[in-house]
């Protein structure tokens, strides 16, 4: 069988285990051919470090697409993460049109815990909501979902009806499937819930709720989910693979939580990820 091929468009934070430095190795380990498109190079990610360097590489995005098209390259998937500017959202939208054959997976990556990340505003959130409308699968957390829908963020104490309603409104942006992460119905369990607007089915998968926060776990989750979707797994299988892998990475990093706050030790858990496919 032909190897599945995915391009992943996000920044390269040289230190900090997020975006391309997790997406590329995770999806390669899953057996996909991964073609990274770095939107910018940063010395570190922006969550918890100071004075990071940032070199915008977005001018190369249209050139890379034009060259790939001239070579007749085709892709099974496109996954996107942290983009960094409104201009880049437009460029990614051009990629979506240029590669219509690809399944598009968009992780909004602009907010968490009720707040926008420092670089972003409401207009950026609206731009990402537009990009989500052109995707097949979107992977917001509850904060990003609320911003994109112009609704109040409900941090806790919600029920299944609330999450299912949120998912239905997210797919009304234009995508087929919405997945929300960080869902806690019972304080002892945390997981992800998905809705397929074509079949009307809901999917969910939960593991133990671990009371700790590491940076980059959203990127780890979306990488595993995107890899599983492009490999042809069902949404239920993809949720299971991605939640299990993310929780395993957190558990593997817990003994070192003080020194390793900037990201999870995803490398140690790659064998488990491969076995779960």
Is residue 21 a contact point for ligand PXL (CB under 6 A)? no
Q: Please, which residue, 46 or 177, has the CB nearer to ligand PXL?
A: 46
Is residue 45 a contact point for ligand PXL (CB under 6 A)? yes
Residues in CB range of 119: below 8 A, 6 or more apart = 46, 84
Window 68 to 127, contacts with ligand PXL (CB under 6 A): 82, 109, 117
The nearest distance, CB 218 to ligand PXL, in angstroms, is 6
The nearest distance, CB 109 to ligand PXL, in angstroms, is 5
Q: 3-state DSSP call for residue 201?
A: strand
The distance in angstroms from the start CA to the end CA of the chain is 16
| Site map (CB under 6 A) of ligand PXL, residues 176-195, x = contact | --------------------
Q: Please check whether residue 49 is in contact with residue 17, taking contact to mean a CB–CB distance below 8 angstroms.
A: no
Q: Is 179 left (phi over 0), alpha (psi -120 to 50) or beta?
A: beta
The nearest distance, CB 101 to ligand PXL, in angstroms, is 27
Quick one: which H or E segment has residue 79? strand 77-80
The nearest distance, CB 219 to ligand PXL, in angstroms, is 5
Quickly count: other Cβ atoms within 10 Å of residue 166's Cβ.
22
Question: Which of 71, 11, 69, 4 shows the shortest CA–CA distance to 37?
Answer: 11
Select from 8, 13, 143, 181 the one that contacts ligand PXL (CB under 6 A): 13
Select from 216, 222, 224, 265 the one that contacts ligand PXL (CB under 6 A): 216
Is residue 46 a contact point for ligand PXL (CB under 6 A)? yes
Is residue 225 a contact point for ligand PXL (CB under 6 A)? no
CA pair distance 44, 68, nearest whole angstrom: 29
Residues that bind ligand PXL in the complex, under the rule CB under 6 A: 11, 13, 18-19, 42, 45-47, 82, 109, 117, 216, 218-219
């Amino acid at each position: 069988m032909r190897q599945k091929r995915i391009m992943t468009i996000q920044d390269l934070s040289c230190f900090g285990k997020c975006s391309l430095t997790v997406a590329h190795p995770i999806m390669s380990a899953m057996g996909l051919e991964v073609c990274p498109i770095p939107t910018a190079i940063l010395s570190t990610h922006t969550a918890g470090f100071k004075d990071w360097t940032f070199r915008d590489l977005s001018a190369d995005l249209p050139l890379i697409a034009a060259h790939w098209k001239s070579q007749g390259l085709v892709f099974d998937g496109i996954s996107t993460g942290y983009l960094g500017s409104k201009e880049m959202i437009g460029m990614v939208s051009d990629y979506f049109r240029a590669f219509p054959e690809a399944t598009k997976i968009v992780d909004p990556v602009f907010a968490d815990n009720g707040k926008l990340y420092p670089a972003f505003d409401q207009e950026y959130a609206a731009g990402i909501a537009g990009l989500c409308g052109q995707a097949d699968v979107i992977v917001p957390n509850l904060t990003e979902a609320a911003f994109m829908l112009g609704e109040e963020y409900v941090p806790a104490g919600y029920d299944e009806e609330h999450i299912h309603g949120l998912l239905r409104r997210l797919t009304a942006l234009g995508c087929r499937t919405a997945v929300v992460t960080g869902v806690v119905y019972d304080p002892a369990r945390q997981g992800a819930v998905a809705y397929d607007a074509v079949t009307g089915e809901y999917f969910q998968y939960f593991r133990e709720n671990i009371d700790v926060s590491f940076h980059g776990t959203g990127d780890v989750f979306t990488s595993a989910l995107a890899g599983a979707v492009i490999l042809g797994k069902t949404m239920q299988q993809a949720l299971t693979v991605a939640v299990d892998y993310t929780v395993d990475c957190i558990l593997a990093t817990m003994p070192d939580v003080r020194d390793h706050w900037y990201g999870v030790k995803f490398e140690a858990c790659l064998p488990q990820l491969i076995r779960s496919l």
